[in-house]
Amino acid sequence: MNKIIIEHLSLQYADGTESLRDVSMSIVANAITVLFGPAGGGKSTLLRCLNRLNDLTEVRVASGKILLDGENILDPQTDVIALRRRVGMVFARPVVLPLTIRGNLTYGLELAGEKRKSRLDEAVEHSLKLAALWEEVRDRLDDPAIALSGGQQQRLCLARSLAQQPEVILLDEPTSGLDPISTGKVEAALQELKKEYTIVLVPHSVQQAARTSDYAAFFLQGELVEYGEGKEIFTNPKNKRTEDYVEGRFG
Amino acid sequence: MLRKTFESDIQQLKDELLLLGSMVEQQTLDAVEALKKRDLEAARRIYAADAKINEKRFAIENQVMILIATQQPMAHDLRLLASIFEVSAELERMGDYAKGIAKVNIRMGDEPLLKPLIDIPRMAKIASSMLHRALTAFVNEDAEAARAIPEEDDEVDGLYNQVYRELMTYVMSDPRTIDRANYLLWAAHNLERMADRVTNICERTIFIVTGEMTEIDVSDDEMKAE
């Protein structure tokens, strides 16, 4: 089932240069879709469009639609706050709030009006378990979050995003600053999470794209060059440019 | 466990390899049984079934390539996947030997066997059993078992030499039997080669465990057998 359908999306920077050119693709529910390619290809820009984070930058939608469960989220009438609850985001560098571990997870829910302690505790435990962090922090939930290691902080950010009970999780190079073990833990968590969520990932390397993807989309200079099942893209790509890139012989 | 998906993919590949191995075992035993009974219909069926073995081998190869490309295996995992690739090829060739025996049977047409088969079925039984245990050792990564199995190849070589000498006596006493003797020698030779290839599987098992590619010594009997 398609969770998100992108139709003929074109974006421009303020100076008129093109950022994305006529991109059409579907994002399948309960799967990991990776957007990969060289820097400046438009993959992060596209990712940010999926929960309207580009509203804050100098990027303009020239044309096209992004349908989330059939509704165009680019419509000016869209409630952006509600959208971002449905479509959560995890960034390259973990941005933990200057609060306790628990506080990082309950902050958003409290802001949304949830006051019942039992509900909040439940959300803390559930989201930490989903992010594969529960066992490591269950005894120190009231410690400052900043005391966690980089890998733990990143999983805390993932948990924070999950505490909002989103439907889609966007991740922008979530393991670029992590060691192989922490990276492995985040990747393993994603493989579990996809059973319940739709995941869109911009990986920090081709290898990560290959490891994690159910579906993969190769972006080059604003163009969606090729899109398909991960195991096809990384063993038998149809486009010569995709092949050159995944083989590492670009340029 | 980290990389749970990868671990289960590997397990699945091992299962597929065992399945391919059992197909080859069955084909070998069936081919010899059909020859013994001069059952041409069975021989044709066995001949055609080889396509399924080839198909399975390519499916395994394809899956190995996908895992190498997508999971970037290192160290032990890399040796294992490279070895699965190699072993699937060995099994496919063994399947060809079984097919070869079926072909001998078909070619013989209405001609009766030169002599009742005794040693050839024994060779098939030993070679199949060696294959079965070598594959079990392979998937269990049991280097000790893998080192022991190739010794049994001597027995297969011994039987081959026995078949050879026996058939030669027939040919010498009546040169008109040369065709029929040659058919049986062909079947025996295929079984002898099959047992040799089991050694290659054992070498791969040791390679996975130790990282070293050792050539397991084959006995001098093989020189005579070749």
Q: ipTM of the predicted structure?
A: 0.78
Q: In the prediction, which pLDDT does A211 show?
A: 94
User: What tens-digit pLDDT sequence spans chain B (226 residues)?
Assistant: 467 788 999 999 999 999 999 999 999 999 999 999 999 999 999 999 999 999 999 999 999 999 999 999 999 999 999 999 999 999 999 999 999 999 999 999 999 999 999 999 999 999 999 999 999 999 999 999 999 999 999 999 999 999 999 999 999 999 999 999 999 999 999 999 999 999 999 999 999 999 999 898 765 554 544 4
User: Does the distance separating the beta carbons of B70 and A184 come in below 8 Å?
Assistant: no
Which residue numbers of B have CB closer than 8 Å to A's CBs? 1-5, 65-66, 69-72
Q: Which residue of B has its CA nearest to A184?
A: B2
Look up tokens 């030993």; give the residue. Answer: B126
User: Does the distance separating the beta carbons of B2 and A185 come in below 8 Å?
Assistant: yes
CATH number of the domain encompassing residue B213 = 1.20.58.220
Q: Which residues in chain A come in under a pLDDT of 70? A: 251
Distance CA B123, CA B115 (A): 16
Residues of A in contact with B2 (CB under 8 A): 181, 184-185, 188
Question: Where along chain A do its domains lie?
Answer: 2-246
Q: In the prediction, which pLDDT does A15 show?
A: 79
The CA-atom distances, in angstroms, between A66 and each of A51, B48, B108, B185 are: 10, 53, 70, 71
User: Does the distance separating the beta carbons of B65 and A235 come in below 8 Å?
Assistant: yes
Sign of CA dihedral B177, B181, B183, B186: negative
Find out whether B124 and B29 touch, Cβ atoms under 8 Å: yes
Q: In the prediction, which pLDDT does A179 show?
A: 85
User: Does the distance separating the beta carbons of B65 and A184 come in below 8 Å?
Assistant: no
Which of A181, A188, A230 faces B70 most closely, judged by CB atoms?
A: A230
User: Does the distance separating the beta carbons of B69 and A235 come in below 8 Å?
Assistant: yes
User: Does the distance separating the beta carbons of A191 and B2 come in below 8 Å?
Assistant: no
Q: In the prediction, which pLDDT does B11 show?
A: 96
Structural domain A2-246, CATH architecture:
3-Layer(aba) Sandwich (3.40)
On whether the pTM is more than 0.80, the answer is yes
Residues of B in contact with A191 (CB under 8 A): 4-5
Which residue numbers of A have CB closer than 8 Å to B's CBs? 181, 184-185, 187-188, 191, 207, 210-211, 213, 230-231, 234-235
Q: In the prediction, which pLDDT does A59 show?
A: 79
Q: Please tell me whether residue A121 adopts helix, strand or coil conformation.
A: helix
User: Does the distance separating the beta carbons of B5 and A210 come in below 8 Å?
Assistant: no
Work out the widest C-alpha separation in chain A, in whole angstroms.
57
Q: Which tens digit of pLDDT belongs to each residue from A211-222?
A: 999 999 999 999
Q: In the prediction, which pLDDT does B55 show?
A: 98
User: Does the distance separating the beta carbons of A181 and B2 come in below 8 Å?
Assistant: yes
Residues of B in contact with A231 (CB under 8 A): 66, 69-70
Domain that holds residue B221: 4-225
Which of B8, B70, B74 has the highest number of chain A CBs within 10 A, making it the mutation to test binding with A? Answer: B70
Strands A223-229 and A59-68: unpaired
Distance CA A78, CA A161 (A): 20
Q: Which residue of A has its CA nearest to B7?
A: A188
Let me know if A113 is exposed, middle or buried by CB neighbors in 10 A (0-12, 13-18, 19+).
Answer: exposed
Q: Please tell me whether residue A162 adopts helix, strand or coil conformation.
A: helix
Structural domains of chain B, count: 1
